[in-house]
Structure 1
Amino acid sequence: MQPMEHLHLKHVLQTVCVLEAVVLRSFGPEGGQVLFTRDTGQAMLSRSGTRILTALQLEHPLARMVVECVGKHNNVTGDGSKTFILLLASLLRMIHTMACKEPNVYHTYNSREAAEAATARRLADELLAFALEELDDLIAVRVVPYGLCVSWEDITAKSQSPAYTNCHYAQKLLASFFHTRLGHTHCDFISNLTCELLRHWKFKNDLPSSVLQFVNDNFPALHTPVLGFPISCSRLVEGQVIHRDFATPCLQTDHQPVKAVVFTGYLQQKLLGAGDVLKVGRGGQEMEANSKKEKSIVEFSAWSERSLECVIENLRRLGVSVLLSAVKQTAAVLSLAAQAEMCVVECISEDELSLFAHLSGTTPVLDCWMIEPVNVATLTFCRPILLGVHRYVHVAFHDLEERFKPCSLVICGPGEGQTDQHACAFQDAIRMLLTTCRPMGMTASTASKRTSQSNKSTSLHTEDHSNKTANSSSSASTFQQGALEPGCVIPAGGTFEFLLNHALLQHGYSRSVSDGTKMGTSSVSQLLANALLSVPRQIYSHSPRHFLQIQTRILGFSPNHSHTLSLPYKQEHKICLIHGCGTSECPLEDGKSSMHCCRKADVSSKVFMLDSGLESVSCKYQLLLAVLQCVTSLLRVDTVLYTHTALHTQSRRLANISLKGTEDEAED
């Protein structure tokens, strides 16, 4: 292996293209699953982009860097791993083409490769700066109006009507997500199960993001994998399932409340620490004090047993019949607990104990001598439950139905790999909903800038709409307040990419006209716009004619194809891509899209793009930012220095990378 490797733009592109070739096998609704075989002979079948990329045994540091970026993005949004690689490869190809064609002053650089690398870094920096400053404005003004808003009440609604209601759209959002992960067969069933899970954990007077964040953080303790059953056997179980079995015989307490205490340490060790420490002599003194030491051990053992009996008696006086322990207790503790008819559950994970303490509202016991009523939890029942071939502890909490109904998720699968894949898909769906329910974010400066841009765009049409300027301004102002509200979704199947591509081309042309230049569409806007089309091209790769038909149909809903399309004009001629109809008769209410803008007689013609599902606008926006940041980081890599130090953790640097481009990096 070479001690040093100089990287050129073509090397970066080749590395990313290898990853692209892997994920393309499972990309899109027509994509298949990828089969991996480990050295141990174990097989893994998956359509998840993150699982596929992390399963690869990558040697090149750049490839590992890309996979790490994809993993971090997936941990936030739960979606877009395969699209991340696809957009990344498309952008790098276009940057490489532009860098090779652009004339460079070669005497400034040592070689042609250095000149191309400098041009590529400049383009990447301009792309990222453009995205951070103006991309959210374009999405809010040119993309969001063609979608709709799904609220938290829509996701957690009880009735899932087959009609075109908000509940139906919430189901479509989840079903399309699971379709790309687990296939079409069970996506509706899993989406219904996800909505039911969130409905049980719906806290009163709490923000949706808080509920989703709680479910995401506690998901390891909230789900139980069961092998050997089809996924259709997955269900919800009331209360909490603790993934341990009883260490002592379990009593039948189904018809009366149960009181439990959580211990975080060893009961016997606490008792030994409370007594005097035995001192053992050294050398010759040890033989002389032998008889005295044996007598002290016997006396201390008797005292320890009496003290443990006092603790058990104190627990009985408090009415405690269940002991939950984070560690394995001694045989003396189990024996005395069994004699006192107390159930003991040992070696409970920290996540499960934390969830139990949160739901029960109690504090775990640190010192067994300091047990108070605040440490005692009241349970509706505590009994064993058989899930598959394993027996666990099943508890239900008392007096929690007024706030919420806690439940656990049982995820079934034929094998370990499939069950784990289903569990990851469930948690990724929660992350996707969490990202969707959060606003995209708009600062005061962004809001003022958007208002000025809207007024400027309105002034371009004063000649044709002079009598509507006041109404248009007020309409635009109303729309701006709700444009970045949480819950924005849009039809899947390339709708987001088609609309943003059109908006970027219009934006570049409008900017050049307003500046008084004749440069046409700016290179940055055109580069990003062309890269976006790589996603729908791959979705419809099996039918290029279908790609053109969908693109023509989506852009055909725009009332004006000219490059001077203004926000007020679009606002007056609002188009609903969900139904494929105009909504001029149904004005916006509080900045939200009306879900019932069409007459029932036209339902047969209002299902445009609905069969392809829905996807989150916020997830798409964050995906673009993450890809552009990754492009900037990749193109700043100049040299890879290979070291011989051992890799301790996967998250550490896999190579020392020399960077160029900024003043701080040059000083380092």
Structure 2
Amino acid sequence: MCRTSASLGSVRRSLSRSSAAALAGAVRGALGPRGGRALLLRPTGEAMPTRDGRRLLEALSVEPPAARVMAARACSHRAATGDGAKSFVVLLAAVLRGLRAAGGGAGLRRALRDFEAQVLERAAARGLRRHLRPAPPGSLEPLLEPYLAGRLGPGERRRLARLCAEMCRRCAPADATRPQVLRLLGRRFPELHAAVPGLPLASSRVLPGIVLRRDFAAYCPTDGELRALLVTQPLRPALTAPGVEFVVDSEGQYLASLRWITKRTEALMKHLQSNSVKLLLSSVKQEDVVIYYAKLYGVSVVECLSSEEMALISEVTGVSPYVPFGDDMDREITETAVVTFCQPLLLVSKRCVHIGFASVCAFQPHCLILCGPVDGVNEQHAAALQEAFTMLQQLFKTVDQRGEWKVEGESQSKASDVCSWHSSATQKQLVIENTCNTNQVSECQLKALSDETERKVFDPDKCDLLVHNQKNHSTSVLVAHNADIVTACEGLNVGKGLEETCCHVVPFKPEESRASIAQDYSNCLIEAGSVLPVGGYFEILLHYYIQDYAKQCQQSEVTIVSNVVADALLSIPKALYQTERDGFTKFYLEAINLLKKNQPLPVNNEGLESVYCKYQLVISVLHCVTELLSIDLVISIRRPLQKFEDRDSEDDT
């Protein structure tokens, strides 16, 4: 039985590895700004070139169950963070390949969990975090251009990055409101843009207000502000209530009923006019009699709006849809939206309605007119921009410590679950981490520890302090409470309110010990707004610090996983530099040598990337590997199960 289980596990891991390798081979060529495009053929015969990882994975229509799980997890990660579908598959394939070569045992799943809590978090908190810097205040183009570079061509990405940044700035004039505005832009982007085929991308622009892709059913021009009413049901009065039969015995009764309906409709329009309502926004088609009296009393009507458009207007204005009052026609209408302008808009050959609303939330309504040669290109551009807004949301998130770091004495009693750490100075730090409030280290503890750590932990020859370029890099020394971090990072000006320090290598000074130690004891592994230059810097740094901490770990399986993940991280920069001869080798050796010497890393001018997204990519891949390793049996169902009725037979009695 044991032999059979071992062989099944080996076959399962082999199938997962081959599936991951096949998926990685399909997307690796499109990874990064230098990647190529794949030509997708739709069932309609339309050909669409794309570099989007999600589209590539969906177009593959993979059959093996393991490959389906991998593609689904990659797309789920992409939907959550807006980025990383191709990198997910490449990193996953490298991890599975490394685990196969290392020959992990039965405790591999537990070792993966221990690695995340004991090695990965330490590498991020004590190594990677020292190289991070806050995003430049008020500037989104350095983040957007490299993000769009992995999906679009050079000319497209520059123009769309500027449009995306302009839309963010106009919709959120105050930096403090940008996180919640980005969430709304990500959710409602289909309603906040209008695609116009047949025009060049350069014709795209951001307009104030919202563009409704409908024409006026009735248009009555008016100047200045006006009141708008949201309607979700017909305004023409009904003769009976639902479920009640209305009997007409003669033609005279029928004509009298029509006259009653006409008078009631006219009275309703007079009532709207007396309440200063000049615009009706309806999700249903209104009767001709409603349109007639709307024109007669100067009320514009836009009908057949989608439920999503109605929900967006309600969210922006805070107004609920209007419900007719029945026989009570004198009741004041209070649920009306303030409209600053309302006018027709001609987009090529399509007539639309352009409306400006007075917002009651942080979002200032603006709409993107997105132009492109054909509908397929517009569709790709819109999808890239919507996911860019999702990616920007991650910039304001933090990664908190989840694993419990324990001292060597506790580790020895549970040697199968955790690692042992040998440095005596590190042990003293861990004692304080477990006994003190994370953000409230007392003065005496800091002072008692400073003398010891000054000689050991912060030895200038062994120090791995932040080693960024003085001109281009800066970091924030975090001394405040973790709640203050979130408050300070609410806007894109993430460094505001934090003490900015020059980032150069200096010997440790006693007066710096308290701030440095307080930073190490924060529950926050990666602070909000943390960025790194694109081009493999994150992977190189995390690779270096994982290997560094793995050397101190006594548990063999955790050491194996650490080395496998550290080597697998290099698969991403290898794919990025695959078009350059010896490009990766030169970049890797130069970066590692500078890290060992505590010298500034070489910096490119290709832009920045959110560290939160990159770190979550690693976590998602590790969870996917654990899930794949936990699959013991695959059941293929080719047809639905037949339903059987339980019937008691005489034999059962």
Greater helix fraction, Structure 1 or Structure 2: 1
CA distance in 1, matches of 2:609, 2:394: 11
Residues 118-172 of structure 1 deviation map (CA, whole Å, 9 limit, x = unaligned): x3x6324422432245423312321232231116xx2xx3xxxxxxxxx3xx422
1:549 and 2:586 matched = yes
Which stretch of structure 1 is more off in the superposition, 308-317 or 449-458?
449-458
Q: Distance in 2 between matches of 1:262 and 1:525?
A: 58
Superimposed CA distance per residue, residues 618-658 of structure 1 (whole angstroms, 9 cap, x where no aligned partner): 001100111111111122223222224469xxxxxxxxxxx
**Residues 585-627 of structure 1: CA distance to partner in whole angstroms, max 9, x if unpaired?**
xxxxxxxxxxxxxxxxxxxxxxx2223x221110011001111
1:186 alignment partner, SS class = helix
Partner of 2:572: 535
The AA in structure 2 aligned to 1:631 is: V
Change in 2 beyond 3 A, CA 1:294/1:134: farther
Residues 1:177 and 2:147 are matched in the alignment:
yes
Query: Residue by residue, what CA displacement relative to the aligned partner does 1:254-290 show, whole Å, maximum 9, x if unpaired?
Result: x32222111011223x53345994356xxxxxxxxxx
Change (3 A) 1:217 1:641: same
Tell me the residue number matched to 2:320. Answer: 363
Equivalent in the alignment of 1:429: 388
| Counterpart pick for 2:238 among 271, 285, 289 | 271
Percentage of identical aligned residues: 30
Cα offset, 1:332, TM superposition: 2.3
| Deviation of 1:413 (Å) | 1.6
**Could you tell me how far apart the structure 2 residues matched to 1:90 and 1:12 are?**
12
1:488 pairs with one of 522, 530, 542: 530
Q: Any conservation in 2 of the 1:197–1:236 contact (CA below 8 Å)?
A: yes
Greater CA deviation, 14-23 or 332-341? 332-341
- Give the whole-Å Cα distance in 2 for the aligned partners of 1:142 and 1:27: 27
Q: Which residue of 2 aligns with 1:600?
A: none
Superposition pairs of residues 204-243 of structure 1, within 5 angstroms: 204=174, 206-243=176-213
Find the partner of 1:53 among 57, 63, 70. Answer: 57
Change (3 A) 1:407 1:462: closer
Q: How does 1:563-578 map to 2 (within 5 A)?
A: 576-577=600-601
In structure 2, the residue matched to 1:605 is none
Residue in 1 that maps onto 2:102: 98
Of the three residues 618, 627, 636, the one matched with 1:624 is 618
Native 8 Å contact 2:78 2:84 kept in 1 = yes
| Separation in 1, partners of 2:294, 2:209 | 25
Q: Shift in Å at residue 64 of structure 1?
A: 2.4
Distance 2:457 2:308 in 1: 62
Given candidates 38, 41, 66, the residue that maps to 1:34 is: 38
- Residues 509 and 520 in structure 1, CA contact (< 8 A), matched pair in contact too: no
How far apart, in 2, do the equivalents of 1:646 and 1:222 lie?
Answer: 42
Instruction: Please list, as runs of the form range in 1=range in 2, the aligned pairs for 1:507-526 lying within 5 A after superposition.
Output: 507-512=549-554, 522-526=559-563
**Whole-Å Cα distance in 1 between the matches of residues 101 and 53 of structure 2?**
27
The one-letter code sitting in structure 1 at the alignment partner of 2:552 is S
Matches within 5 A, 1:34-183: 34-99=38-103, 119=105, 122-150=107-135, 154=137, 157=138, 167=139, 170-183=140-153
Give the secondary structure class of the aligned counterpart of 1:427: helix
Deviation, 1:71, is 1.7
The SS at the match of 1:241 is strand
Give the deviation of 1:399 after TM superposition. 7.8
Matched position secondary structure for 1:547:
helix
Cα deviation for residue 546 of structure 1 reads 1.6
Which residue, out of 307, 324, 330, partners 2:264? 307
Residue 550 of structure 1: CA displacement? 0.9
2:516 paired residue number: 476
The answer for unaligned runs of 5 or more in structure 2 is 1-7, 407-428, 435-445, 462-506, 642-653
8 Å CA contact retained: 1:226, 1:411: yes
Structure 2 distance, partners of 1:233, 1:463, is 56
Q: What is the count of residue pairs matched by the alignment?
A: 547
Matched-pair contact (CA < 8 Å) for 2:122–2:549? no
| Alignment deviations for residues 372-408 of structure 1 (CA, whole Å, 9 cap, x no partner) | 44222221211111123322110012487x9664211
Write the letter of the residue equivalent to 2:245.
Answer: L
**Structure 2 length as normaliser, TM-score?**
0.76
The amino acid across from 2:577 in the alignment is Y
Superposition CA RMSD, Å = 3.3
Residue 252 (str. 1) matches residue 221 (str. 2): yes
- For residues 399 and 41 of structure 1, the distance between their equivalents in structure 2, rounded to whole angstroms, comes to 44
* Cross-structure match for 1:322: 279
**Greater displacement, 465-474 / 503-512:** 465-474
Task: Give the conservation status (yes or no) of the 8 Å contact 1:136–1:621.
Answer: no
Change beyond 3 A, Cα 1:145–1:465: closer
Kept in 2, the 8 Å contact 1:382–1:394? The answer is yes
Q: Which amino acid aligns with 1:136?
A: E
Contact conserved, 2:229 with 2:279, CA < 8 A, in 1? yes
Equivalent residues in 2 for 1:283-302 (5 A)? Answer: 292=249, 296-302=253-259
* 1:288 counterpart residue number: none
Q: Deviations over 1:3-54 (max 9, x none)?
A: xx99622112222222112112211221111111122212222111011111
Query: Over residues 486-531 of structure 1, what are the superposed CA-to-partner deviations in whole Å (9 max), with x where a residue is unaligned?
Result: 111111111111111111111011334xx9xxx7992121011011
CA distance in 2, matches of 1:134, 1:460: 24
Take 1:207 and 1:136, find their aligned partners in 2: how far apart are those partners? 31
Q: Is the 8 A contact 2:459 2:508 kept in 1?
A: no
CA contact (8 A) 2:283 2:307 kept: yes
When residues 124 and 90 of structure 1 are mapped into structure 2, their CA distance, relative to the original with a 3 A threshold, is: farther
Cα distance 1:632–1:275, how it changes in 2: closer, same or farther (>3 A)?
closer
Structure 1 unaligned regions, length at least 5: 103-118, 158-166, 281-290, 561-572, 581-607, 648-668
1:609 aligned to 604, 610, 633, which one? 604
In the alignment, is residue 378 of structure 1 matched against residue 348 of structure 2? no
What CA deviation, in whole Å up to 9, does each residue of 1:230-274 have, x standing for no partner? 2222210111111211122x2333x32222111011223x53345
CA contact (8 A) 2:316 2:363 kept: no
Matched to 1:524, the amino acid is: V
Give, as a single letter, the amino acid of the residue that structure 2 aligns with 1:278. E
Residues 638/511 of structure 1: CA separation in 2 closer, same or farther (3 Å cut): closer
1:334 Cα deviation (Å)?
2.0
- Give the counterpart letter for 1:88 in structure 2: L
Aligned match of 1:186: 156
Change (3 A) 1:403 1:56: closer
Contact 2:206 2:369 in 1 (8 A): yes
Query: In 2 relative to 1, CA 234–476 (structure 1 residues): closer, same or farther, beyond 3 Å?
Result: same
Shift of 1:445: 5.8
Using a 3 Å threshold, how does the CA distance of structure 1 residues 558 and 471 change in structure 2: closer, same or farther? farther
Whole-angstrom CA distance in 1 between matches of 2:638 and 2:380: 35
